[in-house]
Amino acid sequence: MRQANMQRISSLNELKNFIYQTLCRDHDLLINSFPTSESVLRRGQGAVCGIMFCLHGPRAAKFTAIWERDNNRILFYGPNGKRYGETSIPETERFEMPELSSV
């Protein structure tokens, strides 16, 4: 399984761009050719615990990544649903997400 540390990410837009470019690169997809969607993930009491990003690829294939807020890491999944990679965001780069309600 691929593990990597990442560059500085300080906003939701930077996180979205990093995930989109990584999914495209990992699966040999053209950047800016496929749509994406996001879903906020919540715990039982409604507290935000992460975001699931989905890249809708060719032939109805879906490539996903989940950002875990508590562990500040991104988990990458292929079209078969199997996790193939993990990337940690340095603890010093933890960022607040006030714009999560609009995702």
19: enclosing H helix or E strand: helix 12-26
Q: What is the pLDDT of residue 6?
A: 59
pLDDT in tens, the chain (103 residues): 555 555 678 888 889 999 999 999 999 999 999 999 999 999 888 888 999 999 999 999 999 999 998 888 999 999 999 999 999 887 655 566 555 554 4
Is the Cβ–Cβ distance between 25 and 6 less than 8 Å?
Answer: no
Q: What is the pLDDT of residue 102?
A: 47
Q: Is residue 103 part of a domain?
A: no
Number of domains, the chain: 1
Three-state SS for 7?
coil
Domain containing 28 equals 2-95
